[in-house]
């Protein structure tokens, strides 16, 4: 099957909403017609099949290329997706072959989240680059007892004070040792002095 990926950079034209999208057809003797779709993703050009784009139910791409969706086309008649196209190639490759990316994992992860490609999101979350970041964040939060509750309380208090004063400065201190405690206390005293003036 002729599924190509190209990476030519061209300046995207303004978005237009024509009545029907341009689909090309490849005819292979004895095989059913397979619509080929040309994509302009933020200026990066890609070519794939409609079947590939509709492969994962529930994804944004399936939704975008369903028969009831309105198509946004560029000046050349290609489907236009207003998103950075740099990391769309690995997304498309995963949808074609199930191949996981080996580079730019955090960036591809963000794109997979945007396009709601749940199987890819799950697989990327198990990769060291994503898993490590999530574990580090959880470990930090475990070292700060009541972090979520305290953060929520501080935000509520800051909003209430901002509404009452119409002008406010909020200081949030994370104290890990006595030196931090002293620095935070000095900053609070300074804030109180400014408040009185």
The domains of the chain are located at 24-130, 140-196
pLDDT tens, the chain, 197 aa long: 333 444 444 444 333 333 334 444 444 455 454 589 999 999 999 999 999 999 999 999 998 888 777 778 899 989 999 999 999 999 999 999 999 999 999 999 999 999 999 999 999 998 888 888 777 777 777 777 787 788 788 888 888 877 777 665 666 777 777 787 788 888 878 877 777 76
Query: Closest by alpha carbon to 92, among 120, 65, 131?
Result: 120
Please report, in angstroms and rounded to a whole number, the separation of the first and last CA atoms in the chain. Answer: 75
DSSP reduced 3-state for 167: coil
Q: Helix 88-97 crosses helix 105-114 at what angle (to 10 degrees)?
A: 70
pTM for the whole structure:
0.56
CATH for 24-130? 3.30.710.10
Cα–Cα distances (Å) from 129 to 6, 31, 36, 93, 143, in that order, read 27, 42, 34, 20, 22
């Amino acid at each position: 099957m002729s599924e190509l990926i190209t990476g030519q950079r061209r300046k995207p034209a303004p978005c237009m909403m024509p009545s029907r999208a341009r689909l090309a057809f490849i005819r292979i003797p004895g095989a059913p017609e397979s619509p080929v779709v040309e994509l302009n993703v933020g200026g990066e050009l890609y070519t794939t099949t409609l079947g590939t784009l509709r492969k994962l139910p529930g994804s944004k791409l399936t939704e975008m290329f369903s028969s009831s969706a309105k198509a946004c086309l560029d000046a050349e008649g290609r489907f236009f997706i207003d998103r950075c196209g740099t990391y769309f190639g690995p997304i498309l490759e995963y949808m074609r072959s199930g191949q996981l990316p080996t580079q730019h994992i955090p960036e591809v992860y963000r794109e997979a989240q945007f396009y709601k490609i749940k199987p890819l999101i799950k697989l990327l979350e198990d990769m060291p680059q994503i898993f490590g970041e999530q574990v580090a964040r959880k470990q930090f939060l475990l070292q700060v007892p009541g972090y979520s509750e305290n953060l929520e309380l501080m935000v509520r208090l800051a909003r209430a004070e901002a509404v009452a004063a119409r002008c406010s400065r909020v200081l949030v201190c994370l104290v890990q040792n006595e030196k931090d405690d002293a620095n935070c206390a000095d900053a609070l005293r300074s804030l109180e002095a400014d408040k009185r003036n």
